[in-house]
Amino acid sequence: MKIKGAIFDCDGTLVNSLHFWDIFYNKISERFFGGAPFSVESADDKAMRTQPISFLASLLHEKYGVGDSPRAVADFTNELFVWFYSEEVDLKAGVKELLSHLKKNGIPMCIATASEASLIRIALEKHGVMDCFGGIVDCSSVGRGKDAPDVFFAAEKFLGTPHGATWVFEDSLLAMQTAKSAGFPVVGIYDSHTFGQDTARTLCDVYVDDGHSLDELIYKLEV
Distance CA 45, CA 217 (A): 30
Tally the residues of the chain: 223
pLDDT band at 115 (very low <50, low <70, confident <90, very high): confident
pLDDT at 194: 85
- φ, ψ at 168 (rounded to 5°): -105, 130
Among residues 37, 69, 87, which one ends one of the domains? Answer: 87
Q: Are residues 69 and 98 in the same domain?
A: no
User: What's the whole-model pTM score?
Assistant: 0.87
Q: Domain tally for the chain? A: 2
- Whether residues 102 and 193 share a domain: the answer is yes
pLDDT for residue 100: 98
Q: Are 64 and 107 members of one domain? A: no
Q: Of the candidates 96, 92, 94, which has an alpha carbon nearest to the alpha carbon of residue 18?
A: 92
Query: Looking at the structure, do residues 116 and 9 belong to the same domain, yes or no?
Result: yes
The two beta strands, 206-208 and 5-8, are unpaired
Predicted confidence (pLDDT) per residue in 166-215, tens digit: 999 999 999 999 999 999 999 999 998 888 999 999 999 999 999 999 99
Its domain, for residue 54, covers 20-87
What's the pLDDT score for residue 50?
Answer: 80
